[in-house]
Structure formats: C-alpha cells, structure tokens
C-alpha cells in the first residue's frame, strides 16, 4: 500500500479535503492516508498522528499562544516513521504551517500537492514564490485562481469546490422554511467568543420590530458545547434557542435567514438558498495588521467569487447589534433584495461545480507521483 501524507490545520480544510478524497478514492485505491486531520479525515480512513484541534488558531496573537503546539506538530510530521515510506504530500490550506512542512519534505524528494490555495489574491502575494518552490501541482477550488497561477508558471488544475458540491448532494428540498434564524459564529473559540454575543443582541433587537424567531446554533466540532452554553446564559436569556453538534444541515434546512462569520459556510448557505448577513470581527491588533495588507474588496467567499456585494458584509466595528439587526430586518421584509441574493447564489453554484472530471484529476495526481 502506498502512502500519502495529508496536513489539515483546521476543521474547514479537513472537511473539504475529505469530500475531495471521497471523489478521488475510487481511482486511487492503492493509496492510504496519514497525517494531521480531524473527524472527517478519520471518517475516510485517514490516520491522524497529531491533534488537529491544537493547530486551530486564528490571527497573530492567537498564533503566538499556540506556538508550542505548532512546533510539536511540525516535529511529529517531519520525524515520523511513515515519512520514509510516503510517496506524496497533500497540504491543505493553513499556509504558515504547511509552507514549512512542504519546504522540508520537498528537499527530501517528496512530491507536494497543495489543495486550497493560500489567498495570495487577497494579501501577501509574495507567497506565490514559496508556492512555486514547493508545489508540484496546485488543486484549486476557485476558477478565478487559474489565471494567477498560470501567469506565475505554476502547474494547477481546478477541482471544483467541495463545499458547494457536498451541499448540493445533501440539501434536496429547502422550500418550506420555518420562522427560524441560523447563527453561525465560526469554528474557532475566539470567533465564537467575539461573535455569538453580538448575534444574540441583534436577535433581541429584531424582536422589538415584531419579529420573534427561533434561534438555531449548529455547534462546530472544534467548539465545546459548554462554551456555547456559557454565552447563552450570559447573552441569550429570553430567546428560544436550539443548539447541538452535527446539526448544520438540519438547521440550514429549517432556517429562513442566517447571520454568519465569514468563511466557507457562506458558500453552503448560498447553495441552500438561505439569505445571509456576513460579519467579521477579530482582535483589534489582528485586524489592524491585516487591514494594512489585504487587497480584497469583499470578505465573504460568495461576494469574492461573484465580484460583487451580493450578501451584506459588516466588518469589525460595523459588526454591532444595531447594524446586524437592520440587515436581518431588511432581508426578511424586502423580498426583492432576498430574491436578488438567491438568484446570485444560483450563478455562483454553476461557476463552482460544472464539468469536473475526478478521474482525470486522480490520473494527473498519480502521474505526477510516478
């Protein structure tokens, strides 16, 4: 049995890679997987040798706190007994860590594939030099990225967007939405602590407009239920709240509208046809540093793919309960605005999923390995 090392640093990448591999696996049965992965990686038969949750940190200040775990993870991978018998490496997003892993293993003659490109089109464009140095093939999830890598002389192939594909397969009928609102504060502890309280405050405000909605919170696998319960006790009193793990698809199917952290879940909401308000709020130091370098006009993946402000975005100080509640009310009461968003969603789904040949992708990967 041949081995492939896979390194995912957080739940989102873990989930997306696992879906991609489920499509490639029928054409790559001779390969087994090991590395750093979470629940989804283990579900497809991957052997995780280091806890992914210990790597799931966000921003400059949080990374500094987690440096010890990052160093341990690197050493675990680089010095593992499996390395000698590993045929290829698939790095999944998480560039600050995966660049180091890729560089070290490239020097040892390993074939390196990179799935989910670092957002060089958003900030730190100089990272493309490192990508060119370590990557034998980029596996892209956004079609607009192809031009960037073609111009840089880096081999690449568009593999479709796993998030969008998976949601298309799981969500069948979402026409009978209930009077419920979906709150998605993110998959990192720092995000939940920042965003969930202000989401609760916004829901309480819209109750004064005569809109009383049940609140649904799918708890990420990387977040403890006790943390959510603590925030509910402090900020959610008086609200009708449902929360549990492994409930994203159930809650999406029931909810009429969503308030979400910026991230891949925005794409899932789009496939499901759920109008959304996207918010982004991090530590001030992290935001100020990022603002200096970020080149994006938009924060949500939905808006980035379509290159237009389709779904409302509220960033940092703008992500307060008054602004959030106004956007929620507008989407609920203005059918033209919500219908426009849903039509834009359909265009995005077509762009991210049409004409993907997984056998061709698998054959290309095997050819590069051999």
The confidence score (pLDDT) of residue 68 equals 81
Q: Please indicate, yes or no, whether the overall pTM of this predicted structure exceeds 0.85.
A: no
Beta partners for residue 182, in sequence order? 216, 258
CA 317 – CA 217 distance, rounded (Å) = 23
Assess if CATH 3.40.50.300 describes domain 2-159. Answer: no
Residue 77, pLDDT > 90, answer yes
Q: Do domains 2-159 and 168-351 have the same CATH topology?
A: yes
The whole-number average pLDDT for the span 109-113 is 97
The confidence score (pLDDT) of residue 59 equals 45
Select from 225, 313, 250, 241 the least CA-distant residue to 277: 313
Residue 355, pLDDT > 90, answer no
Beta partners for residue 92, in sequence order? 8, 115
pLDDT band at 354 (very low <50, low <70, confident <90, very high): confident
- Residue 141's Cβ-count burial label (10 Å; 0-12, 13-18, 19+) is buried
pLDDT tens digits along 292-317: 545 668 889 999 999 999 999 999 89
pLDDT tens digits along 163-178: 898 888 887 655 557 8
- Residue 26's Cβ-count burial label (10 Å; 0-12, 13-18, 19+) is exposed
pLDDT tens digits along 187-204: 889 899 999 999 999 999
Token pair of 200, please? 């609760």
Residue 259, pLDDT > 60, answer yes
Residue 66, pLDDT > 90, answer no
User: Can you give the three-state secondary structure of the chain, one letter per residue?
Assistant: CEEEEEEECCHHHHHHHHHHHHHHHHHCCCEEEEEECCHHHHHCCCEECCCHHHHCCCHHHHHHHCHHHHHHHHHHHHCCHHHHHEEEEEEECCHHHHHHHHHHHHHCCCEEEEECCCCCCCCCHHHHHHHHHHCCEEEECCCCHHHHHHHCCCCEEECCCHHHHHHHHHCCCCCCCCCEEEEECCCCHHHHHHHHHHHHHHHHHHHCCCCCCEEEEEECCCCCHHHHHHHHHHHCCCCCEEEEECCHHHHHHHCCEEEEECCCHHHHHHHHCCCEEEEECCCHHHHHHHHHHCCCCCCCHHHHHHCCCCCCEEEHHHCCHHHHHHHHHHHHHCHHHHHHHHHHHHHHHHHHHCCCCHHHHHHHHHHHHC
Specify the higher pLDDT residue, 330 or 298: 330
Is residue 238 within 8 Å of 160, Cβ to Cβ?
A: no
**Residues near 365 by Cβ (< 8 Å), separated by ≥ 6?**
24, 28, 88, 113, 137
Q: Tell me the average pLDDT of the chain.
A: 90
Pairing of the two strands 31-36 and 241-245: unpaired
Select from 60, 80, 94 the least CA-distant residue to 293: 60
pLDDT band at 60 (very low <50, low <70, confident <90, very high): very low
Domain range annotation of the chain: 2-159, 168-351
Q: Which CATH class is domain 168-351?
A: alpha beta
């Amino acid at each position: 049995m041949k081995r492939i090392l896979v390194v995912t640093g957080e739940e989102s990448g873990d989930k997306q890679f696992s879906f991609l591999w489920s499509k490639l696996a029928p054409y790559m049965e001779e390969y087994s997987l090991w590395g750093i992965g979470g629940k989804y990686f283990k579900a497809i038969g991957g052997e995780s040798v280091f806890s992914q949750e210990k790597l799931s940190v966000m921003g400059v200040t949080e990374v500094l706190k987690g440096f010890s775990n990052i160093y341990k993870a690197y050493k675990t991978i680089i010095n593992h007994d499996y390395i000698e018998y590993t045929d290829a490496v698939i790095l999944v997003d998480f560039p600050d860590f995966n660049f180091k892993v890729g560089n070290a293993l490239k020097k040892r003659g390993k074939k390196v594939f990179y799935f989910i490109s670092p957002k060089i089109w958003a900030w730190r464009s100089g990272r493309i030099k490192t990508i060119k140095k370590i990557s034998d093939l980029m596996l892209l999830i956004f079609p607009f990225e192809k031009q960037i890598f073609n111009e840089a002389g880096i081999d690449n192939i568009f593999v479709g967007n796993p998030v969008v594909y998976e949601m298309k397969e799981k969500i069948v009928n979402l026409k009978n939405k209930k009077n419920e609102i979906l709150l998605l504060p993110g998959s990192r502890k720092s995000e939940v602590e920042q965003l969930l309280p202000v989401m609760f405050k916004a829901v309480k405000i819209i109750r004064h407009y005569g809109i009383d909605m049940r609140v649904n919170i799918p708890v990420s696998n990387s977040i403890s239920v006790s943390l959510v319960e603590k925030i509910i006790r402090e900020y959610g009193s008086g609200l009708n709240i449902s929360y549990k793990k492994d409930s994203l698809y159930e809650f999406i199917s029931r909810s009429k509208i969503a308030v979400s952290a910026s991230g891949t879940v925005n794409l899932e909401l789009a496939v499901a046809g759920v109008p959304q308000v996207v918010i982004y709020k991090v530590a001030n130091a992290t935001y100020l540093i990022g603002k200096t370098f970020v080149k994006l006009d938009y924060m949500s993946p939905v808006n980035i793919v379509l290159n237009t402000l389709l779904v409302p975005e509220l960033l940092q100080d703008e992500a307060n309960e008054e602004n959030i509640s106004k956007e929620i009310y507008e989407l609920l009461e203005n059918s033209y605005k919500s219908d426009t968003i849903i039509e834009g969603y359909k265009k995005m789904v077509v762009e991210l999923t049409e004409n993907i040949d997984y056998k061709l992708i698998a054959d290309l990967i095997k050819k590069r390995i051999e």
